[in-house]
Structure formats: C-alpha cells, structure tokens
A and B are shown apart, each in its own frame.
Chain A
Amino acid sequence: MKRYPTILAIVSTAAGAGVLSMFPPWWSVAIAAAATTFLFRLSPGRAFLSGFCGVGLLWLVIALIKDIGNEHILSTHMAQLFSLPNYAAFIAVTVLIGGIVGGMSAWSASLLTSRNKQ
C-alpha cells in the first residue's frame, strides 16, 4: 500500500476540519481527523500525529488571526477567567484541546479500521 507523506495527512485533516467546522457542532473536526485516517490508511501513530497537528494547527491559525486583530482583549479576559497566566496560555489551551480531540479521533479511527498484519 502506498504510504502518503504525513504532512499530506495533516493538511488534509486541517482542510477537512476547516470545512466541517463551518457547521456546528464543534466536534465535527473529529470527523475530519477520522476520515483522513481512513482515506490515507494511516497507522495509529501517524494517525494521532496527523489528527493532533491537523486540528491543532487549524485552531492555532484561526485563534491567532482572531487574537491579533483583537489585540488580545478577549484572550486576556478568557485567560483570567480560567486562571491562566496570560493570553498566550489561553491560545495554547485552545490548540491543545483541538489537537487532543483531533489526535484521539484519528488514533481511534486507525485502530478501529486496522487489519491484522500477518
């Protein structure tokens, strides 16, 4: 079976998540991560990586665009609300949550569809 570069899977995850996230619920990004895993037949390890990076990067980029345009007003308030040291920490938390959800979904999809290697 052809082995696609992981970067392609990451891009695919991010793109799929980007399209799906235009429609709630927010966890539709998990579907994009899982679908990519299935399409690219990713091994569990690469699946997690591509899910984590794909969703995480997408969320990082959108959050950064919003945050820079807003000059950190909202992120500073949210950081205080969640007792985080500064706005950057709130961005990190956002990326981490997106990443973990994407990664776990992709990993799950990989395990659920993987065959015995014999």
Chain B
Amino acid sequence: MSDHMDNGIQSNNKKGIVMPSAWAFVVSGFTFALIYVLNTSFGSLPAIGKVVDPTNGCWQNAEAINKKLNNSYVFPALNNETKVWFDERMVPHIHATNEHDLYFMQGYIHAYFRLWQMDMQTRAAAGRVSEVVGETALDFDRKQRRKGMGFAAENSLRAMEANVTTKQMLDAYTAGVNQFIEELHYKDYPLEYKLMSFRPEPWTNLKVALLLKYMADDLTGQTDDIAHSYLKAILPEGDFELLYPDKIVGSTPVIPPGTKFDTPSLPYPTAPSDSLAFPAYKTSDFGMERERGKGSNNWALSGNRTASGAAILCNDPHLALNLPSLWYEVQLQAPGLNVYGASLPGAPGVVIGFNDSMSWGITNNYRDVKDYYEIKPVDGSGNKYWLSGKQLAFKKRIEQIGIKGQHDFTDTVLYTIHGPVTYDLDYNEQRGLRRMLAVSWTGHRASNEQLAIYLLNKSKNYNDFTNAIQYFECPAQNMIYADRKGNIALWGQGQFINKWKNQGRFVMNGSDSATLWQELIPMSENPHAVNPDQGYLASANQCVTDSTYPYWYNGDYTEFRAWRINEVLSKTNNATIADMFALQNDNFSVLARNVLPIMLSYCTQISNPRLDTLRKWDYVLAANSTAATIFQLWWRNLYSDIWKDEFSRVPDYIIPTQERTMQLVMTDTALKYYDYRRTKKKEHLRDIVLMSYRETMDSLDVQEKGIGMQWYHAKNTSVTHLTKIPAFSFTNLRTGGWGNTVNAMKPHHGPSWRMVVQMGKKIEAYGIYPGGQSGNPGSKYYDNHIAQWEAGKYYSLLFMPNTDKQNDKIKFTWNASKE
C-alpha cells in the first residue's frame, strides 16, 4: 500500500524545502471534503459524522439502564433548599418551601426530560418550524401566523404579566428552564436536536403563552363555518336543518336536562336578515377536504353511587397520541399547595389532577368560538376595507419566517376589526374558497388561563374551583369537579359571545357591523350543574345543554360516547374503581346496536358466514374482534354511499354526522338521499344497504388475505413520535375501541391521559398515559408506559403528604439549594 502511494508525482523546489506531491493534495483534499460532508446537514439528513461521534453525538443519549439519578444541585436563583423525589416511574415529587422555588424546579425538570418537545411545540404554535426543517413547513408556518397565533400569545402574555401571581410563576418557571439550557453542551442535547441539526434557544414567558395557545388552537381551531356556508347554498330549503341540526335531538347533554339555568343578564340579540349577514357561495368556490379526531370523556359520581361512599372523578382527554407525550406527570408541593396530575411540558402547574381537597378534569366543550368574516377590501388600495359604508385601514403585522438553508420569507398579515385575515388570494383557504376571510377567535383575547391553572391547583372547595375557572376563557372546556366532602359539579366553561341565532354558523358578511361579535356572556352564567339528583355528571364532547339554556350557541358535538356513558352510569350503583376502569376501557358501540340489526334485516336471504359472525356479535369493538372489522367497514361504506353522490364535492368531514345518519337510518327508509343519482330507479334504504354490503365483502376478501381480520389490525392505533420518524414510534397497538365507543382509540388519537380518583378519606388515584416520563428515545423511560396503557391497565399514583419526609417508594433524590 505504502509503495503504491509513494509512487505519486513528487517535486522539490530548488532551495531544498520539501513540497508535498500532487497526490498528497488530492488525498488531503478528499479528506477535507469527507469531513465537511460528514459535518454538514443536507435537507432532512443529519450531519452523520457529528451524530455518530460516540463522545458527543447520539451515543451520549444512550442512557444507562441502571443510571442513578441522585444528585445535588446549586442554583443561585433558588430561595431555599428544594427537594425532588423521583418514584420508580420517574414521576418527580417536587417539595419546595415557596412557590418561586417550586415553579423554578418544575421548569428545570420539564426541560431536563422534555426540552426538545417544548421547543418544537412552541415553534409550531408561533409558526417557526421552517427555521429548523426548511421550506417543507413554510405553508404550515404561514397558516399559524395568519391565524394570529403570535398575536394571541402576545395578548395573553400581557394579561399574564399584568397579574403579579402569574408573572412570578412564569418568571420562576422560565428561569428554571433556562437554568437547564445554560448548562447544556452539544453532547447533552436531546437526540432530536442532533438529528435535526439545530440547538436549543433561551426559553421565554412568551413561549409559555404560545404553548397555551397551541392547546387552544388544537381544541377550538376547527370550525365548520365555511362548509356550512357552502351547504346552505346548495341544499334545498329545509334540508340543511334536517341534515345538520345545530343541536341533535336525543342528546344526553353535558348539563343534565332539567337543570335550572340562571335568568340571563343579557337580552337575546336580534339577528340581521340572512342576506345581510351571510355572503352566498357557489359550488365553484370550493374544493378539497380534511380530517377530524379529538374528543374526551370525564365524569364524576357522588358518594351515593359509589361503593366506598366517596365521590369518584374520572377523566380521559383524547388527544393526538404522540411521543414524547403531551403530558408529563408531576406532584407539586409548597406551603398551601399539594397537587398531583398531568402537566404540560412548557407551562407551570398541573392541568388535570387532584390535590388534597378536590379533583378536577376537562373535556373539550366544542362550543363554537371561532368565526369567519368575509372582508370587502376597498378597490385598488390594498390598505383599507369596508365596514358599514366606511373605509377602515388594515393594521399590518409583518411576519418574518426564517427558513433553514434559504432566505427569510416575509408575509404581511392584515388585521381587521374582526381579527387577522387568514385567507386571501395569496394564501387560499384549504377548500379553495378564493375570498378574503378574517377570523374572530376568543383565543385572540388577552386571557390568563395560567391563573386558572394556578388557582385550580390550590382550590380547597367548590367556591375556590368556581373562582379559579373564571379565568379559563379559551379553549372552552367542560370542567368537572369532585371533592372529599362528596360534592360533584360540572361547568361548560369558557368565554362565550352573546350571539344571535345562527351567528357564526356560516361565514359572515364582514362589511356590515351588524354581524360583529357583541357582548360577552358573564362567565357565571355558563351552563353548570352541582350535585344533581341523578348522582353523577358526565361530559364526552356532546351537546352542552338542552334547549332551555337561554343563550344561543352552536358547536361541533359528538354523541355516541355520551349516550353510552350516561346509559352505564345511570345504572351504576355501588361503583368501584374497577368499574371506572372498565368504563374508560368500554368498547361497546351504541352505533352498532342501533344500526346493525337494521342492516342485517335486509340480508336475511343471503348466506355468508360473515353475516353469522355479525348476528352473534355483542357490539363490542374488542381488539381481536372480527365482527368489529366487518361492521365498521360495512358501516363506513353505507355511510359514504348514502351521502357520496349528493355530496361528492363536499369535504368528507362535513357530510351529516354519523349520529344524524344513524337517526335517519333508524327512522326513515325512504329518505331521498338514499337514491343513487346515476340510476333511473329510485333506491330505498334496502338497496343502499345491499350495495354497501357487496362492496364490503369484496374489500374484506382483500383484507383477509392481507393484514387479517382482527379489529386492531384493521384500524391500526399508533403512538407516533412528533417528527413522524417510524423508528421512534409504535404502530398497530393491540387495542379495541373506535370513535363511537367510550374507549375512543382511533389511529392517531385516543385516551392521552386516563385518570380515576376516589376522593375518600384517603385519596386513591390511578392514571396512565401512552409514553413515558423521558422524552429521550435512548432512555428506558421513553416508552415504558405503552404496554400497560395498551392493555388498559393503570398505575397507582403515589400522592405524598406535604411533608419533607420521603416515601419508601422513592428511588432517586435531588437536593437543590442556593449555595
């Protein structure tokens, strides 16, 4: 080898100084190029050399299985000695002598275990993803900014910083996060930073506000105004209300029927005429589609329905199933405060949980708090728009979007009296509606949900609870309460607008002031129920009230889970914790019980073993059920066959709900929508059931030869890493359930945190979320809860008394002090 290499051309200069050969330059040039390539990130590919370097790269994220976490820290920012006890699942129990130190440590710990996730979620909220992933995220970033996410977060930040309590809380939390970031060297960076080739940046209070707006947008950001406008235009008179009732008949609402509502303090506003209020759209104004997925359950039983005589509270918010999980378990202790539950990495406090007096949970309320307005710009100016005959100037907000590897992109977002212009000719609405649309959203308001969380964590009784939730404006939530005295309560909470009938159900005419949002409904008049005669309360994203509620509202409700929960709870006496586990894991389909017998009644002449399977079925969507697979596919085909020809140009999501379709199938065998337009014959329910049956059997033949007939294979529930990297994700989990069962296990959404708390003399609490306390894919605590969660099991939650003595279940201890 060496001889060959030495045979290259060599030269000396005349003074005898040795000059390297040309070959030497070739080899060393190649070496430099190699190192350069290995040190550079190309597109989504990481800098390979940097990543595989064992002393600094990814190998440093290989956390030792038996790593001892015990440690002593000196943090000059602390006022006093603070202890953190980690239990065997790595849940930290933070014991501080004052609230500043408590939130400082919570910030430090959130960052220690979940920094990258906190960074990415706040980047996503702010529309700053392109900075780290490049142009692929530009469209997403523009959307975030045009929705006014930054504007909303800045407004809330002002409110949070104007309040002394939340200002101190945020400052302490942010200081804790930054304490951790400052200590980091490249080798300590979370793995994803190394793979994506970017670095942590300092945390700010604004990022907390952004995270809270990220949640608000996730939960209230969807609205059907645009689709409704379109449907109203194309459907015959009366059909829109038949197919899309603003509140479905037969709902078992969040607030039990018969609950007496307060006399409204505001008059019912008069609606302007439709022709003034709503612009009319044509088919040609639209295109495209989208998907849906979020839901949640919570319920509480008073002592007279439980075996122990103590109230029980249950909650399982169904959110995107991601790794690292949205949730991080924590216990927080300071004088006057001892709370346990699920926290959001990126915000101080506990969002869902219990303290030594009470417990609380939340589900999404789905009352519509986001409305679109069509803006009429003044011709040719580009700077003004019309409102009731007057010209008003747009306020402009320049959005500078950084893009990895490219020049910044600048977008100018126009703000109107209604809110930011999300869509215009330059940035089209997702259905392709080529109009200028501004959005009014309660999330844009300067609200202080952080204060609500702070006060909830410290609530001792129902009065404290109601005081706390007055600050929870957006996202509107059904907030459930149970205390150790046996009281239960449920509030449909949020800041709502006193709307005239149908206000915001369709895109509104933004050039007339009659459509403007009017007064705010006093939050004390929000629908609520306390200790009802029925002995339990439950919400599952269904309609909030019956028709006696004095204010008009609409929303995006689902009913199946609520029907089932109410049915089960109304028959439950002497409830035990095990009963509550069973109900959270309940896979019984009310939909199947109602429609399958009708579907089968048209197939009596057909002999097929699959039909026999269905006839014997108990309507339970169990993980290994074959009948569940057959039914769900058949129903999906039937559902789509009923509507698809009439609604072929309507986005999938906004065909009539499954609940409404089920009701029509049960009550009307000759609905005109059963008719298949392409045939001369007038089809009847029987025809469309048989047609969908044939389609289903054909695709089941394929399915049987492919992934098999078990329900969990067919639906494929997955827990996916935020980057969607399959190597860090879990697919095909063996779970039952679907969107129409209490256990709403869908492909990418499901019970993100299951909690059951019995508020007895001794508080007994259980919980689980799919993931693990560590966000590091190289840690055994990254995914250690998943198998238990998949099996529908729970962990007993270690709720320690507020003393400075540790429990024998504690595995590791941190001592942090000022010096």
Asked whether, in the complex, the Cβ of A101 is within 8 Å of the Cβ of B35, the reply is: yes
Q: Chain B residues near A39 (CB, 8 Å)?
A: none
Asked whether, in the complex, the Cβ of B59 is within 8 Å of the Cβ of A63, the reply is: yes
Asked whether, in the complex, the Cβ of B52 is within 8 Å of the Cβ of A93, the reply is: yes
Cross-interface CB contact of A74 among B3, B12, B62, B187, cutoff 8 Å: B62
Within 8 A of B (CB), among A20-50: 21-22, 24-27, 29-30, 43-46, 48
Q: Chain A residues near B12 (CB, 8 Å)?
A: 116
**Could you give, for residues 433-449 of chain B, a 1 whenever the CB lies within 8 Å of some chain A CB and a 0 otherwise?**
00000000000000000
Q: Chain B residues near A18 (CB, 8 Å)?
A: 55
Asked whether, in the complex, the Cβ of B50 is within 8 Å of the Cβ of A62, the reply is: no
**Could you give, for residues 63-99 of chain A, a 1 whenever the CB lies within 8 Å of some chain B CB and a 0 otherwise?**
1001101110111011111000000000001100110
Q: Chain B residues near A113 (CB, 8 Å)?
A: 18, 20
Distance of B676 from chain A, by nearest CB (Å):
47
Q: Chain B residues near A25 (CB, 8 Å)?
A: 39, 50
Cross-interface CB contact of B20 among A22, A46, A71, A112, cutoff 8 Å: A112
Which candidate, B328-336, B725-733, B810-818, is the interface stretch facing chain A? B725-733
Asked whether, in the complex, the Cβ of A101 is within 8 Å of the Cβ of B62, the reply is: no
The verdict on A94 contacting B30 (CB below 8 Å), with A45-B1, A67-B59, A73-B779 known, is: no
Closest residue of chain A to B5, judged by CB?
A: A44
Asked whether, in the complex, the Cβ of B727 is within 8 Å of the Cβ of A26, the reply is: no
Distance of A21 from chain B, by nearest CB (Å):
4
Asked whether, in the complex, the Cβ of B65 is within 8 Å of the Cβ of A97, the reply is: no
Cross-interface CB contact of A97 among B1, B38, B58, cutoff 8 Å: B38
Q: Is A104 an interface residue (CB 8 A)?
A: yes
Most chain-B Cβ atoms within 10 A of its Cβ — which of A22, A74, A93? A74
Asked whether, in the complex, the Cβ of A74 is within 8 Å of the Cβ of B58, the reply is: yes
The verdict on A108 contacting B27 (CB below 8 Å), with A45-B1, A48-B1, A59-B54 known, is: yes
The verdict on A114 contacting B6 (CB below 8 Å), with A26-B55, A77-B778, A108-B27 known, is: yes
Cross-interface CB contact of A67 among B30, B62, B780, cutoff 8 Å: B62
Q: Is B579 an interface residue (CB 8 A)?
A: no
Q: Chain A residues near B60 (CB, 8 Å)?
A: 66
CA distance A116 to B35 in the complex (A): 28
Asked whether, in the complex, the Cβ of B31 is within 8 Å of the Cβ of A107, the reply is: yes
Closest residue of chain A to B2, judged by CB?
A: A45
Asked whether, in the complex, the Cβ of B24 is within 8 Å of the Cβ of A112, the reply is: yes
Q: Is A2 an interface residue (CB 8 A)?
A: no
Q: Chain A residues near B23 (CB, 8 Å)?
A: 111
Asked whether, in the complex, the Cβ of B34 is within 8 Å of the Cβ of A100, the reply is: yes
Asked whether, in the complex, the Cβ of B59 is within 8 Å of the Cβ of A69, the reply is: no
The verdict on A26 contacting B56 (CB below 8 Å), with A73-B779, A108-B24, A116-B10 known, is: yes
Distance of B273 from chain A, by nearest CB (Å):
60
Q: Is B49 an interface residue (CB 8 A)?
A: yes
Asked whether, in the complex, the Cβ of B727 is within 8 Å of the Cβ of A107, the reply is: no
Cross-interface CB contact of B54 among A45, A66, A101, A115, cutoff 8 Å: A66
Asked whether, in the complex, the Cβ of B62 is within 8 Å of the Cβ of A73, the reply is: yes
Asked whether, in the complex, the Cβ of B39 is within 8 Å of the Cβ of A104, the reply is: no
Q: Chain B residues near A70 (CB, 8 Å)?
A: 62-65, 778
Q: Is A105 an interface residue (CB 8 A)?
A: yes
Closest residue of chain A to B47, judged by CB?
A: A26
Q: Is A3 an interface residue (CB 8 A)?
A: no
Q: Is B28 an interface residue (CB 8 A)?
A: yes
How many residue pairs, one in A and one in B, have C-beta atoms under 8 Å apart?
146
Asked whether, in the complex, the Cβ of B778 is within 8 Å of the Cβ of A101, the reply is: no
Closest residue of chain A to B195, judged by CB?
A: A81
The verdict on A66 contacting B62 (CB below 8 Å), with A111-B8, A116-B10 known, is: yes
Closest residue of chain A to B55, judged by CB?
A: A21
Asked whether, in the complex, the Cβ of B28 is within 8 Å of the Cβ of A77, the reply is: no
The verdict on A27 contacting B54 (CB below 8 Å), with A44-B6, A108-B28 known, is: no
Distance of A81 from chain B, by nearest CB (Å):
4
Within 8 A of A (CB), among B57-76: 57-66
CA distance A104 to B29 in the complex (A): 10
Most chain-B Cβ atoms within 10 A of its Cβ — which of A26, A29, A44, A69? A26
Asked whether, in the complex, the Cβ of A104 is within 8 Å of the Cβ of B62, the reply is: no
Q: Chain B residues near A109 (CB, 8 Å)?
A: 28
Distance of A54 from chain B, by nearest CB (Å):
14
Asked whether, in the complex, the Cβ of A111 is within 8 Å of the Cβ of B20, the reply is: yes
CA distance A107 to B28 in the complex (A): 8
CA distance A88 to B27 in the complex (A): 30
**Could you give, for residues 170-206 of chain B, a 1 whenever the CB lies within 8 Å of some chain A CB and a 0 otherwise?**
0000000000000001110001000100000000000
Q: Chain B residues near A97 (CB, 8 Å)?
A: 38, 48-49, 52
Asked whether, in the complex, the Cβ of B59 is within 8 Å of the Cβ of A80, the reply is: no
Q: Is B612 an interface residue (CB 8 A)?
A: no
CA distance A43 to B195 in the complex (A): 37
CA distance A107 to B64 in the complex (A): 36
Q: Chain A residues near B55 (CB, 8 Å)?
A: 18, 21-22, 26, 62
Q: Is B492 an interface residue (CB 8 A)?
A: no
Q: Chain A residues near B195 (CB, 8 Å)?
A: 81
Closest residue of chain A to B12, judged by CB?
A: A116
Asked whether, in the complex, the Cβ of A74 is within 8 Å of the Cβ of B27, the reply is: no
Distance of B35 from chain A, by nearest CB (Å):
5
Asked whether, in the complex, the Cβ of A27 is within 8 Å of the Cβ of B727, the reply is: no
Asked whether, in the complex, the Cβ of A44 is within 8 Å of the Cβ of B778, the reply is: no
Q: Chain B residues near A78 (CB, 8 Å)?
A: 58, 727
Closest residue of chain A to B63, judged by CB?
A: A70
Q: Chain A residues near B35 (CB, 8 Å)?
A: 27, 30, 101, 105
The verdict on A69 contacting B2 (CB below 8 Å), with A24-B56, A100-B34 known, is: no
Distance of A69 from chain B, by nearest CB (Å):
4
Cross-interface CB contact of B728 among A44, A77, A79, cutoff 8 Å: A77
CA distance A77 to B729 in the complex (A): 9
Distance of A46 from chain B, by nearest CB (Å):
7
Point out residues on B near A: beta carbons under 8 Å. Answer: 1-3, 5-6, 8, 10, 12, 18, 20-21, 23-24, 27-28, 30-31, 34-35, 38-39, 48-50, 52-66, 185-187, 191, 195, 725-728, 777-780, 782
With A77-B728, A78-B727, A104-B34 given, name 9 new contacts (CB 8 A). Answer: A21-B56, A26-B49, A26-B56, A27-B39, A59-B54, A62-B54, A70-B778, A108-B31, A116-B18
A sample of 27 cross-chain residue pairs with beta-carbon separation below 8 angstroms, ordered by A number, consists of A21-B53, A21-B55, A24-B56, A25-B39, A26-B55, A44-B1, A44-B5, A59-B54, A62-B54, A73-B777, A73-B780, A74-B61, A77-B778, A81-B725, A81-B727, A94-B52, A97-B48, A97-B52, A98-B54, A105-B35, A108-B27, A111-B5, A112-B20, A112-B28, A115-B18, A116-B12, A117-B6
Point out residues on A near B: beta carbons under 8 Å. Answer: 18, 21-22, 24-27, 29-30, 43-46, 48, 59, 62-63, 66-67, 69-71, 73-75, 77-81, 93-94, 97-98, 100-101, 104-105, 107-109, 111-117
Task: Give the top 4 A-B pairs by smallest Cβ distance, nearest first.
Answer: A45-B2, A74-B778, A111-B24, A80-B727
